[in-house]
Amino acid sequence: MTRDKGESTLLLVFAKAPEPGQVKTRLAASLGENAALAAHQALLDRTLCLAAAFPGPAVLMLNRAEAATERRARELGLDIDYQQGADLGERMERAMAWGLARADRVLLVGSDCPAMSPDYLREAADTLGQAPVVLGPSEDGGFVLLGGSDAALWRQPLFRHVAMSTDHTLADTLAALSAHCQPRLLPMLWDVDYPKDLERARLLGLLS
């Protein structure tokens, strides 16, 4: 990426490369690996389109190289990079540090929140003008968005004691950050983990 620091807020999309049995495993337990893979791909494509409409630079950060997904992202105008770290917490820390070396504000989102919207991203970016960290809570106790504007904050292992993908991930994250700052919370959204979530997205017209 060649954009100058401070030009705009940077959006990072964290995603797994599509692979049967490795994505949406909770969906796969009920619907099968192929249906789970199709849901993952639909959610990811929706998120890539959202990122393509973002007014600043956007980067797809995959867990590994995957030609078809990278080609689609590039067609939409996104840059590509790869997640680095031993676990999800460390990968997010490194991504935030990487992004804040390139922009004044960074928003990091996953690929499984179909309710994410341009207005939500705009609110997150605006909130970073008032607080160094913003979080978008999810109904399952986690978060669908992480935003930051303080590069120094992400040069330490903030998520070392945060259990990811649990019903107390958000609470653990707030506790970990409390010694350093007071994060702001956005309105609560939801992500797709189970068949009922997939049906909800379809009923709302967010997925076909």
Whether 5 maps to a domain, the answer reads: no
> What pLDDT is recorded for position 8?
84
Q: Tell me the C-alpha distance between 121 and 109, whole Å.
A: 9
Q: What is the chain's pLDDT, residue by residue, as a tens digit (208 residues)?
A: 434 444 489 999 999 999 999 999 999 999 999 999 999 999 999 999 999 999 999 999 999 999 999 999 999 999 999 999 999 999 999 999 999 999 999 999 999 999 999 999 999 999 999 999 999 999 999 999 999 999 999 999 999 889 998 999 999 999 999 999 999 999 999 999 999 999 999 999 999 8
Does residue 184 lie within any of the structural domains?
yes
Q: What is the CATH number of the domain that holds 176?
A: 3.90.550.10
Q: Which domain holds residue 155?
A: 10-203
**Structural domain contains residue 99:** yes
- Whether 3 is covered by a domain: the verdict is no
Place of tokens 């998520």: 159
The structure tokens 């909130």 sit at 127
Q: Is 97 domain-assigned?
A: yes
Domains: count for the chain: 1
Distance between CA 88 and CA 145 in Å, rounded?
14
pLDDT for 208 equals 87
| Distance from C-alpha of 153 to C-alpha of 151, rounded to nearest angstrom | 5
Residue 1 lies in a domain: no
